[in-house]
């Protein structure tokens, strides 16, 4: 969770300390003494395997604050305060880290709260998500938390007609970092009942990760008229990612919709689907400059141990801290690189939209069915390049083994196969963009048989809906087609992928196996690209 607060960092730290002390007391642990800021770093043992680390310090002079201007306060420059709590968990440790940074002691504060599960030794790693910590739900309302102009609260905010313009301003704010979730009311449903019975359990995993809103019956048509290509209605919930382009029809496919029937079928699974993109963004986005400048935690030197003199221990700690700092800096560079790459993809897509006439202009709506823009820099010449460019298909996710795909480059027809695979992925992306809006008119096979004008055509005979009964009933062959998917799709992290594309001709030519989950998570998962899997015609 990364949010802003108008409160000074010392005040936020005091609030967090009170909440932590109350929680520790409820759990039967010792309460920490008040932090007098006498020591720049200290470690407190509050019970069996219960550690609380506290540290604070200055940040480099000139570190920019939330508004982008360097700190110049003569009475105090940029600084940080941090808390890290470790508590025992089955087969490991739960770690909670709260970092506060501000450009001046009395200025607004950037707040980051990280919850992690650390597996011990060879213990099995948990496959589930780390739950939202109680501290986040308790602290967030006290922070007056914001993301730019948006208020970040625990519960959805009711949007009335007079609030629609402000909500649209929030959506279109170029500095927005967090997703905005907008829920629509089902017809003849009271807002209070929908919030209590559906939206609160649905958004419980989103505390601090998104701005939450509910359109009332009168605000809904006003919102949808203003956002012609990004509508939400009928009890659905839509996730609006940062850098929305309301004038672009193609951009609508980037903002997933969770329909009412999926919510009511299983609220718990729907909540996991809804939390997926906000959690990804929370992990992938670069940190704000102030938080990025905070050094990695350095534990205070403890008493001399039996393994060697204190000087050796300090040297080891310094080397370890330097290595962790290098890893943290590299992670921030990767986040920036990924962010720039995704922005460039959106820029190129928008430029293509302008050339293709897919951008709204002069209040005129556009006829015909929407297709996403095809990648503009040509087909890849190898499967190695293809795998590296998978991010060009935002609604497709490759979950398979890259080695199987790259191995095809050693085949005599590898280049032609790579190009045909790229054509299939392009068609799948265009189909997915229509399917998430309910405009595909059927499955991918039907899409290929009746490809809309302006969209990329993939040969229908190469699009296969499923495997034969023989394959599906054969234990070993079916197991080969149980391919990886995210946990939000199936708790076992495996799903049968009978649907596939034929890449090339012949009995053993390559295949691309996929799962169409556009009606659920809004994605198509490609679980396998490689030589033909075993069936009645292969050895």
Predicted local distance difference test score (pLDDT) of residue 317: 62
The pair phi, psi for residue 94, each rounded to 5°, is -90, 130
Q: Are 202 and 274 in contact (CB under 8 A)?
A: yes
**Which burial class, exposed, middle or buried, applies to 446 when counting CB atoms under 10 A from its CB (0-12, 13-18, 19+)?**
middle
Which residues of the chain fall below pLDDT 50? 66-74, 126-127, 302-308, 350-351, 354-355, 357-377, 412, 537, 539
CA–CA separation, 48 and 497 (whole Å): 47
Q: Which of 87, 142, 132 is nearest to 111 (CA)?
A: 142
Q: Which of 300, 301, 172 is nearest to 248 (CA)?
A: 172
- Only one residue has tokens 């015609």, namely 537
The two beta strands, 211-215 and 157-159, are: parallel
- Only one residue has tokens 């203003």, namely 226
Alpha-carbon dihedral of residues 282, 288, 293, 298, nearest 10 degrees?
-30
CA–CA separation, 292 and 332 (whole Å): 7
- Only one residue has tokens 């935002």, namely 394
User: End-to-end CA distance of the chain, in Å?
Assistant: 52
**Strand partners for 41:** 55
Alpha-carbon dihedral of residues 206, 330, 85, 291, nearest 10 degrees?
-70
DSSP label at residue 504: S
Within the chain, how many helices (H) and strands (E) appear? 16, 20
Predicted local distance difference test score (pLDDT) of residue 78: 92
CA–CA separation, 288 and 387 (whole Å): 31
Alpha-carbon dihedral of residues 457, 460, 461, 467, nearest 10 degrees?
120
Alpha-helical runs (H) found in 40-163: 134-143
Q: Are 180 and 210 in contact (CB under 8 A)?
A: yes
Please give the structure tokens belonging to residue 287.
């940190």
Q: Are 322 and 37 in contact (CB under 8 A)?
A: no
Alpha-helical runs (H) found in 145-284: 164-172, 191-194, 200-202, 219-226, 260-265, 267-284
Please give the structure tokens belonging to residue 385.
């390049």
Provide the 3-class DSSP secondary structure of residue 125. Answer: coil
pTM of the predicted model over 0.75: no
Question: Per-residue pLDDT tens for 47-99?
Answer: 888 999 999 999 986 565 544 444 444 456 899 999 999 999 888 899 999 99
Please give the structure tokens belonging to residue 66.
């939330």
**Which burial class, exposed, middle or buried, applies to 420 when counting CB atoms under 10 A from its CB (0-12, 13-18, 19+)?**
buried
The two beta strands, 523-530 and 500-502, are: unpaired
Predicted local distance difference test score (pLDDT) of residue 173: 81
Predicted local distance difference test score (pLDDT) of residue 4: 93
Q: How far is CA 198 from its chain centroid?
A: 22
CA–CA separation, 168 and 219 (whole Å): 12
The pair phi, psi for residue 355, each rounded to 5°, is -70, -30
**The length of the chain, given as a count of residues:** 539
**Strand partners for 157:** 213
Predicted local distance difference test score (pLDDT) of residue 7: 94
Please give the structure tokens belonging to residue 350.
């928008």
DSSP label at residue 374: P
């Amino acid at each position: 969770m990364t949010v802003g607060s108008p409160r000074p960092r010392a005040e936020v730290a005091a609030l967090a300390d009170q909440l932590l002390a109350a929680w520790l007391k409820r759990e039967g642990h010792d309460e920490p003494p008040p932090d007098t800021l006498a020591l720049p770093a200290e470690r407190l043992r509050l019970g069996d395997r219960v550690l609380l680390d506290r540290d604070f310090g200055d940040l480099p002079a000139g570190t920019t604050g939330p508004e982008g201007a360097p700190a110049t306060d003569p009475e105090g420059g940029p600084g940080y305060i941090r808390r890290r709590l470790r508590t025992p968990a089955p087969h490991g440790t739960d770690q909670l880290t709260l970092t506060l940074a501000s450009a001046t002691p009395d200025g607004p504060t950037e707040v980051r709260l990280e919850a992690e599960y650390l597996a011990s030794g060879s213990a099995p790693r948990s496959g589930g998500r780390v739950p939202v910590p109680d501290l986040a739900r308790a602290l967030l309302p006290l922070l007056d938390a914001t993301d730019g102009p948006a208020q970040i609260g625990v519960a959805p905010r009711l949007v009335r007609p007079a609030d629609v313009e402000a909500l649209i301003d929030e959506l279109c704010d170029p500095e927005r970092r967090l997703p905005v979730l907008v829920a629509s009311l089902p017809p003849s449903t009271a807002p209070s009942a929908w919030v209590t019975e559906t939206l609160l359990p649905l958004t419980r995993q989103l505390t601090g990760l998104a701005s939450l809103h509910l359109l009332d019956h009168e605000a809904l048509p006003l919102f949808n008229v203003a956002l012609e290509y990004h509508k939400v209605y009928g009890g659905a919930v839509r996730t609006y990612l940062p850098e929305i382009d309301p004038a672009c029809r193609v951009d609508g496919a980037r903002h997933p919709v969770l329909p009412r029937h999926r919510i009511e079928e299983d609220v718990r699974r729907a909540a996991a689907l809804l939390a997926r993109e906000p959690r990804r963004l929370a992990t992938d986005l670069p940190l704000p400059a102030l938080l990025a400048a905070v050094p990695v935690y350095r534990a205070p030197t403890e008493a001399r141990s039996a393994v060697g003199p204190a000087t050796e221990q300090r040297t080891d700690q310094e080397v370890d801290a330097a290595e962790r700092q290098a890893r943290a800096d590299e992670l921030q560079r990767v986040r920036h690189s990924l962010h720039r790459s995704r922005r460039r993809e959106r820029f190129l897509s928008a430029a293509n939209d302008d050339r293709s006439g897919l951008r709204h202009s002069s209040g005129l709506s556009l006829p015909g069915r929407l297709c996403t823009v095809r990648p503009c820099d040509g087909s890849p010449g190898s499967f190695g390049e293809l795998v590296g460019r998978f991010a060009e298909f935002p609604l497709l996710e490759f979950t398979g083994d890259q080695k199987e795909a790259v191995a095809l480059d050693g085949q005599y027809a590898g280049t032609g196969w790579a190009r045909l695979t790229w054509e299939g992925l392009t068609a799948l992306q265009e189909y997915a963009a229509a399917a998430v809006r309910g405009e595909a008119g059927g499955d991918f096979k039907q899409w290929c048989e009746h490809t809309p004008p302006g969209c990329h055509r993939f040969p229908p005979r190469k699009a296969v809906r499923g495997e034969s009964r023989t394959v599906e009933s054969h234990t070993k062959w079916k197991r080969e087609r149980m391919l990886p998917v995210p946990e939000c799709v199936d708790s076992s992290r495996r799903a049968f992928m009978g649907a596939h594309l034929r890449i090339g001709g012949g009995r053993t030519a390559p295949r691309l196996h996929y799962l169409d989950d556009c009606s659920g998570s809004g994605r198509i998962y490609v679980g396998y690209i490689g030589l033909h899997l075993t069936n009645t015609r292969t050895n």
